[in-house]
Amino acid sequence: MPDDATRTTGPLRPVEIATAAVMAALAVVLTVVGWFLPHLTIVAAFAVVPLGVVAHHHRLRALLAAMFAASVLSFLVAGTGTVTNVVECAAVGGLVGVAKRRGWGLGVVAAGVAVIGPVLAAVSVGLLAVFAALRKLTLAQFRNTWKGVRRILAGVPGTAGLVHHADRFVATALRDWWATVAIVVIAATAWFAILGWVFIGAVLDRLRWIRPQDRLELDSDPRPPGPLPVALHDVRYRYPGADSDALGPVSLAVQPGEMVALVGDNGSGKSTLARVLAGRPPTAGKVTRPGSAGLGRRGGTALVMQHPETQVLGVRVADDVVWGLPAGAEVDVAALLDAVGLAGMGGRETSGLSGGELQRLAVAAALARDPRLLISDESTAMVDEEGRRELTALLRSLPGRRGMAVVHVTHRAEEAAVADHRYRLAAGRLVPDADPAISNGSAPDGAPVAPAGRPAPLELEGVSHTYGLGTPWEQPALRGVDLVVEPREGVLVVGGNGSGKSTLAWIMAGLLRPTFGECRLGDRPVRQQVGAVGLAFQHARLQLQRATVGRDLRAAGAPDDAAAAAALAAVGLPASEFAERRVDSLSGGEQRRVALAGLLARRPSVLVLDEPLAGLDRPARDALVDLLAGLRFRHGLTVVVISHDLAGMGKVCDRVVRLHEGRVVSDSAREGAPL
């Protein structure tokens, strides 16, 4: 249910502008696809849906921002024609979105169309009246095409009557062009409205409990920033609508000039504690500070978060460092980049940086505000080993260099080892430093999901792939990879940023055709048997494409409910509990498992996993590794894991292949050295 915040006036809040921007980008993608691919023209009409979602969750000002951004972007990509589609979709999407929010019925929407349609028609006719020469040229095209068709049909017997009628119709339509345009625009508006009503309604219904959420809040404390020294006294926190406290009671203190580590598994409350330290008022207990927490303000608190990609707001490194600073605030960008080890990279584009570099850039942006307290909320979770080391060293150096305090939240004990003070959290409380092993998900069991068909080796022969071959954006990803994966092998493909490992995964699954060479499963190319090699993407939600787990497994290829249950059992999720669950109610780890089950439903002989352990804590990782080992040894699958990390896959993979800049630089099978 939308909250009362939608009725505030004034500038857009971060969650509003973020939703507007992301949905605008989605609308642009849909519009441009529909524009350039005529057989997919209807896709452009689906731009109603994201814009409708904006209108549903937020106020009109956000929709206007989305419409503006989408118009500018689509104009730059594909010209004025797409802008008309965007404006039309924004108008109709806005109408339907607001109607859904207020509970209006189809009748009100029809009335809205009766108003919007003529307005848009009037604007179109007005523009065509002003640009008279172009209008006449366009009308001439219709007239000439018809005349050409008529000339050709003149030779065909029996069509004289039809041609005569059609001729009069075309002549009238072109002479009274304003009426024709008005009718077309109003009809299009009605058509978009129907489409919008059906699809926006369906989408909103399914995503009822997911709404754009900002789990942080802008600091409303009027005192000037003064976050340190901070002391928490018996602090508790309970999320709105929850049955029990996520955190508490917790008492601790942070002094300037020290590094504090908060260790714990997922769900232990460490993120909640980080948010409380960043300024979120607790539901019970007291937090004492000399001033306000000042999140994002000069001399206050800075927060570096888990996901490297979405934390970056600027397209270029230098722009990202200053992003969000008050207008007129000057910082020494070069010095900041130097301090985090990104010296001289100010002009680089952020899309080319590795995860570790992006996180260091986030630290630089945080340091631009000269904070007294820097909180790193699992900033090392999605970063490879080398990046983690550099990032931890950087965090360690900050208190000494700048007299600030650093709170580092992590689930890795080795990162906590460098801190001055360590606190371990479990189930929302501080516990002594013993290691409680909590298992996440039960062990896999059940009947094996053996691969269909005879086991065959996966061969890559001379595979090279270059993106954008022949264009100025040519980017070689793989150069001459020769690899043979035998049945039932467990291979770990390791490589850093830009090594080509994701490209390799797509080629192995048959989703990408290499520019040279071939990938074969058995004797046929994989491209002709898409689905025989399962590929688990890093972003599991994109692989779950139906409303409930059961329907998703059926759509993924399970021939009946028994097969779906077997696939679920193979990933350690009991079918009785999970078959009817909605996919959006699953946790991240559960979504990953259901995605795996979906792949297993097709009984593949090879399973390729792209970064399966990213972002998981120790118990979840152990459980997943056990699961993969079971798939390999009990069920006889070939498992290929693509990762930037060596650690942790010893149980599953006994062969390590290293990729560097698109080439295989080492292969433990060839050298005879086990992992």
> Which residues within the stretch 297-356 sit at the binding site for other proteins (CB under 8 A)?
297, 302-305, 307, 309-316, 318-319, 321-327, 329, 333, 346, 349, 351
Which 489-518 residues touch other proteins, going by CB under 8 A? 506, 509, 511
Work out the angle at residue 432's Cα, subtended by the Cα atoms of residues 427 and 436, and round it to the nearest 5 degrees. 55
Structure token pair of residue 396 = 């360690």
CB of 616 to other proteins, least distance (A): 17
Q: Are 491 and 659 in contact (CB under 8 A)?
A: no
Structure token pair of residue 11 = 């500038």
Q: Are 360 and 342 in contact (CB under 8 A)?
A: yes
Which 607-646 residues touch other proteins, going by CB under 8 A? none
Rounded Cα distance, 188 and 562, in Å = 46
Burial class (CB in 10 A: 0-12, 13-18, 19+), 215: exposed
Which residue lies nearer to other proteins by CB, 66 or 186? Answer: 66
Which 128-157 residues touch other proteins, going by CB under 8 A? 130-131, 133-134, 137-138, 140-141, 143-149, 151-152
Which 198-227 residues touch other proteins, going by CB under 8 A? 198-199, 202-203, 206-207, 210-219
Among 161, 473, 523, 671, the residue binding other proteins under the rule CB under 8 A is: 473
Rounded Cα distance, 616 and 410, in Å = 11
Which residue lies nearer to other proteins by CB, 36 or 239? Answer: 36
Which 370-429 residues touch other proteins, going by CB under 8 A? none
Closest CA to 403 of 362, 358, 430, 373: 373
Instruction: State phi, psi for 438 to the nearest 5 degrees.
Output: -105, 125
Element (H, E) at 385: helix 385-402
Which residue lies nearer to other proteins by CB, 229 or 531? Answer: 531
Residues 6+ apart with CB under 8 A from 96: 48, 52, 55, 109, 193, 196, 197, 200, 201
Which residue lies nearer to other proteins by CB, 78 or 413? Answer: 78
CB of 28 to other proteins, least distance (A): 7
CB of 264 to other proteins, least distance (A): 20
Task: By CB under 8 A, tell whether 580 contacts other proteins.
Answer: no
Element (H, E) at 113: helix 106-130
Among 9, 220, 244, 471, the residue binding other proteins under the rule CB under 8 A is: 471
Which 2-21 residues touch other proteins, going by CB under 8 A? 11-15, 17-21
Interface segment toward other proteins; rule CB under 8 A; list 91-99, 380-388, 391-399, 552-560? 552-560
Instruction: State phi, psi for 257 to the nearest 5 degrees.
Output: 80, 15
Task: By CB under 8 A, tell whether 556 contacts other proteins.
Answer: yes
Binding mask 183-202 for other proteins (x = CB under 8 A): ---------------xx--x
List 218's β-bridge partners, or say none: none
Binding mask 273-302 for other proteins (x = CB under 8 A): ----------------------xxx----x
Q: Are 488 and 629 in contact (CB under 8 A)?
A: no
Which residue lies nearer to other proteins by CB, 145 or 439? Answer: 145
Among 602, 603, 644, 658, the residue binding other proteins under the rule CB under 8 A is: 602
Inter-residue long-range contacts of 142-149, CB under 8 Å, 24+ positions, other chains counted:
142/170, 142/174, 143/170, 143/174, 146/170
Sheet containing 638-643, strands listed edge to edge, beginning at the edge strand earlier in sequence:
533-536, 606-610, 638-643, 490-495, 655-660, 663-667
Which residue lies nearer to other proteins by CB, 127 or 646? Answer: 127
Task: By CB under 8 A, tell whether 169 contacts other proteins.
Answer: no
Task: By CB under 8 A, tell whether 547 contacts other proteins.
Answer: yes
Which 426-465 residues touch other proteins, going by CB under 8 A? none
Rounded Cα distance, 325 and 367, in Å = 11
